[in-house]
Each structure stands twice: as C-alpha cells, then as structure tokens.
Structure 1
C-alpha cells in the first residue's frame, strides 16, 4: 500500500477520533481506513492505536508518530499547493515600489503592455526615493538601483546603468569645463535633495580612489528629470544615471563634464521577499521586465 495514504489514514483517525468519521473525511469506506492503519502498524511493527468499542486513541508511540506524520502530510499538501499556484494564471494586486526617476521614465511607459498581457493582474505602483521595507510595508517587490543593502531579499538583475556628470555645451562655454575632480569646487553643481549624505558626490578618481565633492549650486531638488532639465538649461553640472540623460546626450543637449574619469556602473535589480516560491504575479512581472530590458543599458537607453 502507499505509505503516504497509510500515514494519512492514521492521522485522520486520530484527528477525527474514530474510523467512521475518518472514512467520511477521506471519502473512502471504513474498512479501507482500517486496512490502511493495520498495514501501517504491521510495517512499523508497533501498535499505534488503542481500539475499544467506544473510542479510538493513539498509544504513546502512536502519538509521537502522529506528530511527525502530520508534519509530513502538511508539507505534502503545501507541495501540491505550490505546484498548483505556480501553474495558475498570474492574477491579483501587485504592489511595486520604484524610485521616482526610474518609474516615471522607464516603467510607466511599458506598464500598459504588461497589463494587456496579464489582464487578471492589477498594479499599484508607488513612486518614492526612500528605502522601503518590503514585507513590513506590504510590497510584493521593488526596483532598486546600485548596491543591494538587504541581503535577505531575493534579487534578479535586470540590466545596468552608468552614472556620469553631465552639463550643457552652453554651460561649459560660459563657465569652462572642469579638467579634474578638484575643479568641481569652482562650478555650479545640481543636487538631489534626498541624498542621505547631503549635497555630497562620491566620485571615482582615475587612481581608483573614491573622492567626495561638496559644492553648492543653484538648484537642489528631489527629482532627477528636473535636474536634467536644469542641466540642459545651463544651470550647472548634474550627476545622473544614463537612463535619464542618454537621449539628451544623443541630441547634443548635454555632454560629459570630465570624460577621462572612470565610468561608474550600477546594477538595476528586481527585489522581492524571500520565500519557498515566487508568486506567479511577481514572477510574470519580473520576466516581463527582463525581456524588455534585455538589450538596454548600461548606456543604450
């Protein structure tokens, strides 16, 4: 007989307190339940149940076996549920946390395509520039750029972006072009206002040393597109990811401020909470993004 069926019959008898109710619960005959339990006892060489005319109860050995058997049965049930879930059509509410710059410029334009492909999924996309706790704040996943701080999260790399200092030809004609990092102290820098370390840029020098630059500018704002617009207008030098400035650079609206510096490359990741399996809606969205960004980055945006 099937070992798992024997185990299930025994555990159901204990749960239901008798063979009759166990048979009703399992949808088989009482004699079939009895045969399964007897076969289990014979195979184990131990009596698992005390049988009287009035009641059935587990022996001491039977109670210990029941605890382990119930765990095995629960795990088997979860395994079945996992397979069913993974094969189910993706559906339900998908809550996503995305940095504002990336969400507005690269995610919003393609969301419609994803929703048409998966009509049973609805999306709640929250744009912000702070670090969110996925589980505590109820998010299914997030898009993050740069080093991943939380190693407990699962992550899939989607693509890469570079980060460079850029300014307009008009700005460089008016204020000159910096030749080295120290020259930035004499220039107008355009800053993100949501930087944890304030208006400080950490720039890789040709020697490999990471230098810090702190210089005031005409504008500090919490939006990358606004910084790009300011740079195009000639208000100063901005330090931005390539997915923001690539089109403006192709159009000649901005140029790299110090071309000789090492190029900083940042990974773009889909991150999601740890677990035994990935929800179909999350897996579908990550696969969709991976397809769309397959030939993007680090500078080809």
Structure 2
C-alpha cells in the first residue's frame, strides 16, 4: 500500500477535513478523497463519517488511525536516524518568517545557510501574519513578541527594540509628542498585527502604558508604514531593525524616546508534535549560533 495514502488518512483525522488534509499533503481535495475511498474499499469497512460540517472517524477508523499514526512516527524516526548519521542533512524545510525581519536581519545569514547545507531545500515563506504551523505545513516559524501557544517548542534568538518614529518634516509641521496621551492629537500609522485594536504598548521604566490611538492609516505591512513615516504622513511604531538605516540617514527621528519597547523577544518555534528532522535540527542549531539583533 502507498504510504502516502496512510499519511493522507492520518492528516484527515488530525485536520478534521479533506481540504485541510489536502493542503498539508500537497495534493488536490479530489485526489485525497479518492485515496480514502480506495483505502476503505481495500479494508472493506468505512473509516470516516462525512457531514457537511466535519469529517470524524468511525470506531474502526479511530483504531486504525491510532495504530497507523504510531507506525508512521516510528518509520519517520527510522528515516531521520539514518539521515542524522550523515554529515550532510538533506531534504525539504519550510520556514515562515516576518517580511522585514527576514530582509533586514536574516537575509545574509540565510545565504550562508544555503552554502553550509546545500542538500537542504529551504522554502522561506515571508508573511507578517501569525501562520498556523500545522495547517500551513511549516517545520518552523519565526515570531516577534510574546508567545501564546504553549504546545510549541521555542528557541529565543534575541530581543528587538520597538521605537516611535516620524520624519523631521512631520515633527516640524505637527510638533513632537511630550507624553503618550499626546498621540491622540497626532497622525498615527498603525500596524494591525499588534494585539489590541488601536492600542500602542509603550514602556516607561518598569511600567507599560497601553495608549489608545485613532489611526490615520492602518496596514498589516510594516514596510508600507515605514515608507509613509519617511514621507511625513505620521508617527509609526516600528522595530529598530526596520528603521535603523532611516534613523542613521536622518530620514526619520525618534519621538518619545523614553517610551520605547526594549526587549521584545524573537523566537524560532516548532511543533512539539512533529519529528525534528535532520534538516530542522541543522536550521535550529545554525540560528542558535548567530549573533542577531543588528542590521546588516
């Protein structure tokens, strides 16, 4: 029996739908459905109960899943034991990461990773949203900020400073805020991936002020907000690695410097439920050895 059929069956149980399992397996929904129909025909019993809302295993299907999942885990471990014995890790590796962090901080290191591990096929997916590791098939993702999902393993890479910045032209025309509450009278460029709608967390000493703002412009893309800030369209809350060049060139200036957010953690996280492949282990070890936290 084709092992892909068994992996597809396990994926359907774990994902709860044919569509999600098909995305995880990289096949069409119709192909996934056909494989399960053929499997049920071979076994002579129904494994899944299908409704318009969900797919659930029958009693026979659940028992079959439990044994097959265990067998697949052991099989994957056997494959990886052989690969790990090799001095050249190989195979596909899918990693998700924020756009500007990758371009400003990781890019030169990724080039060296490719040189050090030529047999690893690295698929780097740049997306500022919080990707679902299981649904989107990631081996690891890089996340900025406090982690919420305790089911994930995490390795801390470094901390990032978050600054309030504006162009000199904006400050000349609108003045500079003296305290967080002054932001209510300014044009604020809001990053929508921040938790809390229209709220900026600002640290002063050991205290964090959650300042409500009325965004003049909002986007989930930090680079667009940076460009608008440089163009004098408002004040932005941005990671230092994203705006360091602009600050050095005088295109942006820091406002409310006593209310920056130092120490925002950046982690590489990976699932506790998936086998750590030789490729993923190589990536994790490589990242742990880097001196990050500065622009290149």
Take 1:138 and 1:201, find their aligned partners in 2: how far apart are those partners? 32
Bigger drift between 83-92 and 233-242 goes to 83-92
1:102 aligns with 2:113: no
Of 238, 241, 244, which aligns to 2:242?
Answer: 244
1:90 is matched with which residue?
Answer: 89
The within-5 A match list for 1:1-301 is 83-88=81-86, 89-195=88-194, 197-206=196-205, 208-217=207-216, 219-261=217-259, 263-274=261-272, 278-292=276-290, 294=291, 296-297=292-293
Shift of 1:242: 1.1
TM-score, normalisation: structure 1: 0.66
TM-score, normalisation: structure 2: 0.67
Q: Is the 8 A contact 1:181 1:205 kept in 2?
A: no
Shift of 1:143: 0.4
Q: Is the 8 A contact 2:201 2:208 kept in 1?
A: no
Shift of 1:178: 0.5
Q: Is the 8 A contact 1:98 1:142 kept in 2?
A: yes
Shift of 1:205: 4.0
Judging changes above 3 Å, is the alpha-carbon distance between structure 1 residues 137 and 80 closer, same or farther for their aligned structure 2 residues? closer
3-state SS in 2 of match to 1:135: helix
Judging changes above 3 Å, is the alpha-carbon distance between structure 1 residues 151 and 108 closer, same or farther for their aligned structure 2 residues? same
Structure 2: which 5+ runs fail to align? 1-72
3-state SS in 1 of match to 2:136: coil
Q: Is the 8 A contact 1:99 1:127 kept in 2?
A: yes
Structure 1: which 5+ runs fail to align? 1-74
3-state SS in 1 of match to 2:146: coil
Take 1:178 and 1:111, find their aligned partners in 2: how far apart are those partners? 39
Take 2:83 and 2:117, find their aligned partners in 1: how far apart are those partners? 16
2:36 is matched with which residue?
Answer: none
Q: Is the 8 A contact 2:144 2:264 kept in 1?
A: yes
Structure 1 or 2, whichever has the larger Rg, is 1
Take 2:74 and 2:122, find their aligned partners in 1: how far apart are those partners? 32
Q: CA RMSD in A?
A: 2.7
1:57 is matched with which residue?
Answer: none
Q: Is the 8 A contact 2:105 2:295 kept in 1?
A: no
Write out per-residue CA displacement over residues 146-181 of structure 1, whole angstroms, 9 at most, x where no aligned residue.
111111111111111111111112211111010001
Judging changes above 3 Å, is the alpha-carbon distance between structure 1 residues 230 and 265 closer, same or farther for their aligned structure 2 residues? same
Take 2:193 and 2:75, find their aligned partners in 1: how far apart are those partners? 47
